[in-house]
Chain A
Amino acid sequence: AQTVTQSQPEMSVQEAETVTLSCTYDTSESDYYLFWYKQPPSRQMILVIRQEAYKQQNATENRFSVNFQKAAKSFSLKISDSQLGDAAMYFCAYRSPNTNAGKSTFGDGTTLTVKP
């Protein structure tokens, strides 16, 4: 079974600075998908970014980018020019194309605080 680990329960960043949230996972599969979700205090889970394992190029969405290291099974999220609205809990998620019809396995989450 796949596992996802987020080793940083809490992180903080100064507004306008850059922060990196770490995520590692364990799998024996070669093809899979990785996601970062944001959960603000409103509870709504919002997709931040998606990475396909067979693509070497790191995904980027505006101020959000990932550092995907397949051999190391690492998938960190970098937030540049942090804004107050980025404050939320961030979840890393793994989805296998082979088992259990696309269910997501989530890490425990990292709470990000943005200081003005």
Chain B
Amino acid sequence: DTAVSQTPKYLVTQMGNDKSIKCEQNLGHDTMYWYKQDSKKFLKIMFSYNNKELIINETVPNRFSPKSPDKAHLNLHINSLELGDSAVYFCASSQGRLAKNIQYFGAGTRLSVL
């Protein structure tokens, strides 16, 4: 049983399109995150939600909009996709926001914008 699952695993789309990536965790955690890993493998936080409330927004363009319908889900919607959005996007979750709490990661979604 996958703890943090993301769909789809691969996403290929044209510039200008709108796409969504879904994330679900079955760990009972109350905090979820989105990270972006670029082509150089650099991993950076994008958003974090705690109990469906946005708590981190790391100067991500407005074209990116996270949505948390409940504590177990954190979806990422991207409008007007650009070439520079091509990356691997990771969802993660933890129980609580404390630094000591372990983050569990999904397998990532590789987004390719053509």
CB of B41 within 8 A of CB of A89, answer yes
Whether, in the assembled complex, B60 has its beta carbon less than 8 Å from a beta carbon of chain A, the answer is no
The stretch from A14-22, A39-47, A65-73, A74-82 touching chain B is A39-47
Report the bound CA distance from A100 to B42 in whole Å.
19
Report the bound CA distance from A91 to B31 in whole Å.
22
Our count of residue pairs bridging A and B at CB distance below 8 angstroms stands at 69
Report the bound CA distance from A110 to B110 in whole Å.
20
A100 to chain B: closest residue by CB: B56
CB of B48 within 8 A of CB of A102, answer yes
Report the bound CA distance from A97 to B33 in whole Å.
16
With A102-B48, A102-B94: A43-B41 Cβ-Cβ less than 8 Å: no
Whether, in the assembled complex, B74 has its beta carbon less than 8 Å from a beta carbon of chain A, the answer is no
- Identify which of residues 27-75 in chain B touch chain A, using a CB-to-CB cut-off of 8 Å: 31, 33, 35, 40-45, 48, 50, 55-56, 58
CB of B41 within 8 A of CB of A102, answer no
Sort chain A's interface into a size bin: 20 to 34
CB of B102 within 8 A of CB of A47, answer yes
Report the bound CA distance from A103 to B33 in whole Å.
8
CB of A45 within 8 A of CB of B105, answer yes
Query: CB within 8 Å of A: which residues of B?
Result: 31, 33, 35, 40-45, 48, 50, 55-56, 58, 88, 90, 92, 94, 96-108, 110
- Contact sample, A vs B, 16 pairs, CB 8 Å cutoff: A32-B99, A37-B105, A43-B108, A43-B110, A44-B107, A47-B102, A91-B43, A100-B45, A100-B56, A102-B103, A103-B48, A104-B35, A106-B43, A106-B44, A109-B42, A109-B43
In the complex, the 6 A-B pairs of residues with the closest C-beta atoms, listed nearest first: A45-B105, A95-B99, A101-B97, A97-B99, A106-B43, A43-B108
